[in-house]
Structure 1
Amino acid sequence: MNSIAISDGVHVLGHLSLDQLRVLVTIADTGSFSAAGRSLDRAQSAISQAIANLEDIQGVTLFDRSGYRPILTDVGHVLVEQARMVLVSAARFEAVAANSRTGLEARLAIAIDPLVPTAPLVQSLRALQERFPSLPVSFSTEGLGGSLRRLRDDSAALGLCLLLPTIPDDIVAHPLLRIRLQPVAAPSHPLALLGRPATQADLEQHVQLVLSDPSEPVGEDYGLSSARLWRFVDLGRRMDFLIAGFGWCRMPDHLVETLIGQGRMVRLSIDDDPSPRDALTIYAAHRRDRILGPAGRWLLDELQERLALAS
């Protein structure tokens, strides 16, 4: 069985050491054993011995030494790239361990609802990477209701989401920004060709394209106006069907403004529209019984400050 050991600062994986891999990569990058020795502040003989040991242990020839300069063999080229990946992974391993010693969370998982605009969040997420460059961060776009589920099953620490109809008791939510929904359809859709505001009777005759929670396909009624519903989990697929004229729906301004300007989408006027006139609030949310780690708290503060300045 392979073993992992640390001896005199040299990390060993079975009979393979990270130092040997570092020497191999340095030779490939500098072009010669002597240049690698200078780069690593070692004698050329030590470099040669390290590679000889590596070749002997692995049973392969890494360099063709028949010429003036050593040239990587075919297997040498492949193993150099493998060595690079191992060294990067080892560096990340050590960085996560170092972060943990300072109290930083081991990773930060962020879940985002499909209607949440990403543009206002980009700068804060980039700042997070710059502030915590070695922190593993996962960022996933969820189906409707997915962010809340991920908070509750502890697979995400922070959710950027809508919380309808109210904020649940087990969730702490910080308002970030607001989005406004508007009814839209393709220019060729019958509702767009009415020449007058649509009535509830008009809406009921046509397919409404709605986002649904995949775990609760028939859930709470938010802005449903039609007796014919086509339900979607994926926002992009719903957009495809909307543009193709299969139905109408309510979409956030930031997703349809360009399409309306291009003439590929039309705003619908609706008499006595039952949908909320107020804009919907996007929250940064986390579980009440889970305290955010240093990076999560930093990102929350950054989002609140940056978006408050932008509003």
Structure 2
Amino acid sequence: MALHSDNLLLFLAVLDHGSFSAAARALGRVPSAVSMAIAQLEAELDLQLFERSTRDVRPTEVARALEPEARQLVAGLRRLQTHALTLHQGLERRLTLAIAPELLSAPWSEPLARLAAEFPALEVDVLSAPQTAVLQMLHEGEIDLALMFERFGFNEREAFQEFASEVLVAVVAPQHPVAAAGRARLRLEELVEQRQIAVARRDAGGDDPRVLLSRKLWRTDSHLASLSLVQAGLGWAFLPRRMVAPLLAAGSLLQIEFENASNEVRLWVDVVWLKDRALGLGARRFIELMNESRS
């Protein structure tokens, strides 16, 4: 067969360097071997690829016509070789991430872009679901990595890496009695008897006591669901600042100010995986990139 990877590389090297000797230096070969290989290729194709002179070689129109496809073939071969090498090193075919919807604007897309540049053959699925559902998918083996808020408590099966933080602020709708009273500041204990809308487990296990203050509690599985209930005037809530900032600016939500405590609670955002399930090369590298993004 006339065309194969070695003589395609020789053909392109002569095109790029303008002479057999320069191509030979670039490839670490002797000029006579390059010249003979090109001559043999021309004979097998029954086509003249280069016009020879005493000083250099010039590509013919035939060579220029073959050049684009030759470059595509060589580039494809290099991608195939790279993919085969990464598979040998443990690259998975597909990486599946699940993200709590409140964190879709968190800084995870740049590390993912860097991962795609390093492993262009890796397929990636990105899902979004409430945090409880994300955690369930992780434990049932449906996803490789989960991006979620830190949780109060610890599961021995899980490993995690912090990569960002989010500030929760106490907010309420303008029509809520707390806001309608017209007071600019409240004492924290005054909210104990006011209904709180909170992202919390139904069994009340593993919840963060910093964000559960009220004796009257409505539970949801996501901050988005909590936001809808707060906007309806059904209670107050701690919600991510990035989520509510436009609503606060528009006046459709109000931030509750406390006389005796901070209005803010800072939560870490984690990438979580299971210790007893081996991670592929792509997942491991993504965790490294997420950690690097903190600096």
Using structure 1 for the length normalisation, give the TM-score: 0.58
Aligned amino acid, residue 113 of structure 2: R
- Distance of 2:187 and 2:104 partners within structure 1: 30
Does residue 270 of structure 1 match 2:243? no
Partner of 1:158 in structure 2?
145
- Distance of 2:93 and 2:180 partners within structure 1: 55
- Distance of 2:199 and 2:168 partners within structure 1: 13
Aligned amino acid, residue 249 of structure 1: A
Q: Deviations over 1:57-83 (max 9, x none)?
A: xxxxxxxxxxxxxxxxxxxxxxxxxxx
- Distance of 1:130 and 1:297 partners within structure 2: 15
Unaligned runs of 5+ in 1: 1-93
Q: Are the structure 2 counterparts of residues 260 and 234 from structure 1 closer, same or farther at C-alpha, using a change threshold of 3 Å?
A: same
Partner of 1:79 in structure 2?
none
Partner of 2:241 in structure 1?
253
Identity of aligned residues (%): 25
- Distance of 1:168 and 1:219 partners within structure 2: 12
Q: Name the count of aligned residue pairs.
A: 211
Does residue 181 of structure 1 match 2:191? no
Q: Secondary structure at the match of 2:165?
A: strand
Aligned amino acid, residue 247 of structure 1: G
Deviation (angstroms), 1:268: 0.4
Does residue 125 of structure 1 match 2:125? no
- Distance of 1:165 and 1:272 partners within structure 2: 24
Deviation (angstroms), 1:167: 3.8
Give the alignment partner of residue 203 of structure 1, picking from 166, 172, 191. Answer: 191
Give the alignment partner of residue 289 of structure 2, picking from 302, 305, 308. Answer: 302
Partner of 1:107 in structure 2?
94
Aligned amino acid, residue 205 of structure 2: G
Using structure 2 for the length normalisation, give the TM-score: 0.61
RMSD: 3.0
- Distance of 1:123 and 1:221 partners within structure 2: 31
Aligned amino acid, residue 220 of structure 2: F
Deviation (angstroms), 1:135: 2.6
- Distance of 1:299 and 1:221 partners within structure 2: 28
Aligned amino acid, residue 131 of structure 2: L
Aligned amino acid, residue 228 of structure 1: K
Unaligned runs of 5+ in 2: 1-79
Structure with the greater alpha carbon radius of gyration: 2
